[in-house]
Amino acid sequence: MKKLRENLSGYIFFILALSSISVLALITVFIFANGASVIGKVGLLNFIFGTEWAPSQGKLSILPMIVGSVSVTLGAIIIGVPIGICCSIFLAEFAPAKVRDMFRPAIQLLAGIPSVVYGFWGLLFIVPLIRNYFGGPGLSILAASIILSIMILPTIISISEVSLLALPRHYKEGALALGLTHWQTIRSVLLPAAKSGIVASVILGVGRAIGETMAVIMVVGNAVAMPESILDPVRTLTTNIGIEMGYATNEHQQALFATGIVLFVIIMILNASAQYITRRK
């Protein structure tokens, strides 16, 4: 009887796990089934590398949105990654226990704030600041990059800190015994040893940034054009879907699903890279 209950529990957990995978498979099939026809009609290269997006005129190319997504995400990486890694080093190596206990819940709270709140704060504070001090409309790549850099901090800080704390203690003790200073130990021993975890945290942060929609819609300007500077407004892949899906029909709607396919593939590649890097080490 006991063995039967154990087997039954195993089957139940297997079915639940299989249901999760099935949902992912259904979403994948749905997106590809609705978007592949447009890619086949327009042509993959023309769809990805063309510069004109005018669905009412039959022009369905998403390069401006791809450039917008890459620009915004790259800006978030440049701003957020150094801050995140420095914060993780501080928490793992320098912060007293009381400070650590205060900072960690605050960082976790950042991850729980709704994205619309970030967007609203950026619209009222970041956008006017950029407009007044740097020029331009304020709604720009720079504004979106600042917002996204804040939003990816919890992911980078948490995973990087765990990677540093998980290192064997004798790494640090051996380096200090050889005469290295604390900072030299961190720079030359601990950071290289925790490199796989830190890189994985950055990749996951990039996945969060490139997939964000609501906060970006509110601060990026949503102009379908190739940007010339970080002060120009752009439209990202996610914001393009979010803005137009409500009224799109027929081929236009299928083109938005095709945009989702491109975004889906990008995020899958990023997540697979993070898992590969983590498992390799």
Tokens matching residue 233: 């407004």
Does residue 129 carry a pLDDT above 90? yes
Whole-number pLDDT of residue 150: 93
Whole-angstrom Cα distance, residue 252 to residue 38? 9
Would you state the structure tokens that stand for residue 204, as one six-digit string?
């996951």
Q: Which of 188, 183, 243 is nearest to 216 (CA)?
A: 243
Span 179-205, mean pLDDT?
Answer: 88
Question: Mean per-residue pLDDT for 93-118?
Answer: 87
Quick one: how far is CA 251 from the chain centroid? 29
pLDDT of residue 173: 83
First-residue to last-residue Cα distance in the chain: 43
Q: How does DSSP assign 108-176, residue by residue?
A: HHHHHS-HHHHHHHIIIIIHHHHHHHT-S-S-SHHHHHHHHHHHTHHHHHHHHHHHHHTS-HHHHHHHH
What would the pLDDT profile of 34-70 be if each residue is shown by its tens digit? 888 888 888 888 888 888 888 888 888 889 999 999 9
Q: Which pLDDT belongs to residue 233? A: 93
d(CA 115, CA 175): 42
Residue 54 β-bridge partners: 59
pLDDT for 4 equals 64
pLDDT of residue 125 exceeding 90? yes
* pLDDT at residue 78 is higher than 90: yes
**Which tens digits make up the pLDDT trace of 245-258?**
888 888 888 889 98
Q: Between the CA atoms of 188, 192, 193 and 194, what dihedral angle is there, to the nearest 10 degrees?
A: 120
Q: Examine the pLDDT at 181 and tell me if it is beyond 90.
A: no
At 57 the pLDDT is 84
**Whole-Å CA distances, 142 to 66, 138, 226:** 16, 8, 15
DSSP structure class, residue 229: S
pLDDT, one tens digit per residue, over 13-42 is 778 778 878 888 888 888 888 888 888 888
pTM (2 d.p.): 0.87
pLDDT band at 2 (very low <50, low <70, confident <90, very high): low
Average pLDDT over every residue of 157-169 = 90
What pLDDT is stored for residue 13 in this prediction?
79
**CATH class of the region 64-280:** mainly alpha
β-pairing verdict for 59-60 and 53-54? antiparallel
Label residue 118 by pLDDT band (50, 70, 90). very high
Looking at every residue in the chain, the average pLDDT score rounds to 87
Provide the pLDDT for residue 168.
Answer: 87
Residue 4: both structure tokens together = 């039967």
